[in-house]
Structure 1
Amino acid sequence: MRATMMMAVLLAGAAPVAAETVAISAARMLDVNSGRISDRPLVIVVDGRITAVGRQGELAVPAGARQLDLGNHTILPGLIDMHVHLTSDPTLSGMQALRYPGSFWTAIGAGMARRTIEAGFTTVRNVGSVDYADVGLKQAIERGAIVGPRIVPATYAIGATGGHCDTNELPANFVFDRPGIADGPDGVRRTVRELHKRGAEVIKYCATGGVLSVGTSVGAQQYTQAEMNALVEEAHMLGMKVAAHAHGTSGIKAAIRAGVDTIEHASLADAEGIELAKKAGTWFSMDIYNDDYILAEGAKNGLSEENLAKEREVGLKQRQTFQAAWKAGVKIVFGSDAGVYPHGDNALQFGKMVEWGMAPIDAIRAATIRAAEALGREADVGQIAPGRYADIIAVAGDPTQDVGVLRAVQAVVKGGVLVKGAN
């Protein structure tokens, strides 16, 4: 008791810690809301959050502020990728991946996190990792032990026995722990609670088969409507959003009816599924670049002919679905599935989004304000605006005219701290 009282007295008498103030300037700034570019922006940051945005010479720089000039570049909000796997390496696919222990994947995750933020992605939703590695990465980044983006972790992806999220590569006599596997309404509820306890901030589950699994039909539904209803209800009760991996038509529609927040991939959504998504306000997160990488490099990286055949089955159809969904008014966010293709190349997808129907500003919004809304974190990220984290990137040129400039980010600021680039 005496020691506690002494500590309270010491703390009460201690001088307050001065807030760090940073003044960030550049040649131009993109307002992702309006789509307009203004010149000579000035952004004032206090303790990592933006307090004011104005124009150089008009907005006062607080006395003692640290100056951070991003030069003759255009600044815009740090990008958000809604579908990554930081603890995956696409060059170690298929059976090759089984040669490495869980600790290996956690270790390489640190390197992949750095690649990701240096590519301009300051926030990511990590939708599946083993050994709770994404939680560990998030904690290490927040402590400053490693450099990386803000992470919204899902921990294990939840899946049915023998389904896409299960491990089906090994012979039947190999038995091992599978924390994400759950069956039946009560089983999926228990698993949601367990993952929430272990640090999940979003729940990801496999509603249908997938491309990179063994022994699953890519479009086949793998959970009943009752199971999906229970899973989503439980996650929402705990305050978590739900992402459903769903390529197949019936699984997409069942997931939307269950109330999921985002459909991942959405490759074979039909007109009814698109209309259901539009009416429900369900977001589509569609990885429409990585078909190019999988078909070009997958065999060399260890993918089986089964995997490659499934990719050939859905790749073009997914892009056509993306085009149809966007034209119909479905809400779409940026989700690359980085980890299936190399981390740091996330921005390659912007070009495909534009090629298949989006205007450049809409593709950018999908990775900024729209992604922040889908995450439920629009008060923190997605804009250069007061109250948000000072997560800012700088590019050469005008990204509303050429999204290709987003593939060569010149500077990255996270929470007012320069991560990449020179002052």
Structure 2
Amino acid sequence: MKPLLPLLTPLVFMAGFSAQAATSVLTADAYLDVKTGKLIANPAIIIEDNRILQIGKQGQLAIPADARVQSLPGITLLPGLMDMHVHLSSNAEDNFLEAQNYSVPLQTVIAVSNARKTLEAGFTTVRNLGADGYSVIGVMEGINRGDIVGPRIWAAGHSISITGGHCDDNFSAPERHATSGGVADGPWAVREKVRENIKYGANTIKICVTGGVFSKGTKVGIQQYTLEEMKAAAEEAHMRGMVIAAHAHGTSGIKDAIRAGIDSIEHCSFMDEEAIQLALKHGTYLSCDIYNTEYTLAYGAANGVPEENINKEKQVSQAQRDSFRKAVKAGANMVFGSDAAIYPHGDNGKQFSRMVTFGMTPLQAIQAATINSAELMKQQDIGQIREGFLADIVGVKGNPLDNISLLEKVSFVMKDGRIYKQA
């Protein structure tokens, strides 16, 4: 069902207004200019269709006579938040080993549910880095068609992996000959897999260049793709106009992924000074999921996560946070990437406080989830409340620069000029 745009009177709202007004207006206590860090008091924001037409002061801006006005007293507005690393088709709460055998249709249903939760949490844009059977690509298309509710999605399709590496199916018995859809060995096979993902609707690419926490039989610090293979993936993705991400925990894999020209490094657990300097030199973006370790160590065993994987999480948790702190201090490009599915969807905002705890200012954490993420994805009309930009706007009660935890409880969500949540 398409969202309803709330009007000024309950009577009109209950009548079921569903067609989008040509012009609407938001008023609030303030909005945050994420570029300058300034709070602008008493704004009036005129929205035409799905774009911000004009921004001014309440009482000073000429409001069109036919505009529908939404007043939000006590609310601070921000650009719609962006999470650059999610897995909508998986649930942290499900039994880990049973979930390995979920069908693609079931994963698609799960993704539909999680897309709504993510949007209602204030994340109007996400990057889905890996899902079976093009399930999330289908959800992305359904959202774009207006059939279902969810954030704007960049979906990678299958994560590209070596045989037996992180992102392959290593949990099935050998006689089943199970192989994940993204397996590719050698530069030309990697290029072919990038092309295959794009053929079936992917609008971003992910390659797994080191071992990982939640795979069987891989070591998180060990590199699993050669520099030559990584270059093939990056060149193929860029030739097709795609942004490419590299799952990379280990130091050597991180460095080679940067040298290969990959746009963002995911996880970034074991970064030395050379790795950080390479990221600075190449302008590479770093996406460090520093909240989810708390959920895994608290609830992973109860959710059926094997001891091998729990132990690997213990290996990376503090190292990853140390790497995050060093990268922030060095001034590296940082984006917000939570790895949602390792913890429950909808709790994405809990990572903001950890980003502040481990070295960011509140403004830097917000910028990671707005303008920095927009820059990574090469988008010039999202990530700011600005005239001409898409009307992706969220609101919280109070000032998030004083209390970053407010972003855990977003009370207003607008995407593409439509209201999906309000207190």
TM range (shorter): over 0.9
* Cα distance, 1:70–1:161 mapped onto 2, change above 3 Å: same
Aligned with 1:159 (options 147, 161, 171): 161
- Superimposed CA distance per residue, residues 180-206 of structure 1 (whole angstroms, 9 cap, x where no aligned partner): 110100000011111111111111010
Tell me, in whole angstroms, the C-alpha distance in 2 between the residues paired with 1:280 and 1:140.
36
Alignment partner, residue 26 of structure 2: 24
TM-score (norm. length: structure 2) = 0.94
Contact 1:21 1:44 in 2 (8 A): yes
SS of equivalent to 1:173: helix
Runs ≥4 in structure 1, deviation > 4 angstroms? none
Deviation at 1:39, TM superposition (A): 1.4
Identity among equivalent positions (%) equals 52
- Superimposed CA distance per residue, residues 37-84 of structure 1 (whole angstroms, 9 cap, x where no aligned partner): 121111111110111111111121122112122232111111000000
Tell me, in whole angstroms, the C-alpha distance in 2 between the residues paired with 1:198 and 1:144.
20
Please say if 1:383 is aligned against 2:384: yes
Alignment partner, residue 213 of structure 2: 211
Alignment partner, residue 133 of structure 2: 131
SS of equivalent to 2:132: coil
Please say if 1:249 is aligned against 2:251: yes
Alignment partner, residue 399 of structure 2: 398
Q: How does 1:16-415 map to 2 (within 5 A)?
A: 20-176=22-178, 178-377=180-379, 379-415=380-416
- Superimposed CA distance per residue, residues 98-141 of structure 1 (whole angstroms, 9 cap, x where no aligned partner): 34312111101111011101100000001011111111111111
Q: CA RMSD in A?
A: 1.3
SS of equivalent to 2:25: strand
Tell me, in whole angstroms, the C-alpha distance in 1 between the residues paired with 2:231 and 2:57.
50
Deviation at 1:380, TM superposition (A): 2.1
Contact 1:284 1:330 in 2 (8 A): yes
SS of equivalent to 1:263: strand
Contact 1:91 1:302 in 2 (8 A): no
In structure 1, list runs of 5 or more residues that go unmatched.
1-16
* Cα distance, 1:97–1:19 mapped onto 2, change above 3 Å: closer
- Superimposed CA distance per residue, residues 248-288 of structure 1 (whole angstroms, 9 cap, x where no aligned partner): 00000000000010000010011110110011100100000
Deviation at 1:19, TM superposition (A): 7.4
Aligned residues: 405
Deviation at 1:318, TM superposition (A): 0.3
| Code of the aligned partner of 1:197 | K
Deviation at 1:176, TM superposition (A): 4.0
| Code of the aligned partner of 2:168 | D
Tell me, in whole angstroms, the C-alpha distance in 1 between the residues paired with 2:416 and 2:44.
15
- Superimposed CA distance per residue, residues 284-322 of structure 1 (whole angstroms, 9 cap, x where no aligned partner): 000001111100000011111100110000100000000
| Code of the aligned partner of 2:173 | P
Tell me, in whole angstroms, the C-alpha distance in 2 between the residues paired with 1:298 and 1:18.
43
Tell me, in whole angstroms, the C-alpha distance in 1 between the residues paired with 2:169 and 2:124.
31
Contact 1:210 1:247 in 2 (8 A): yes
Tell me, in whole angstroms, the C-alpha distance in 2 between the residues paired with 1:153 and 1:399.
29
TM-score (norm. length: structure 1) = 0.94
Tell me, in whole angstroms, the C-alpha distance in 1 between the residues paired with 2:339 and 2:323.
17
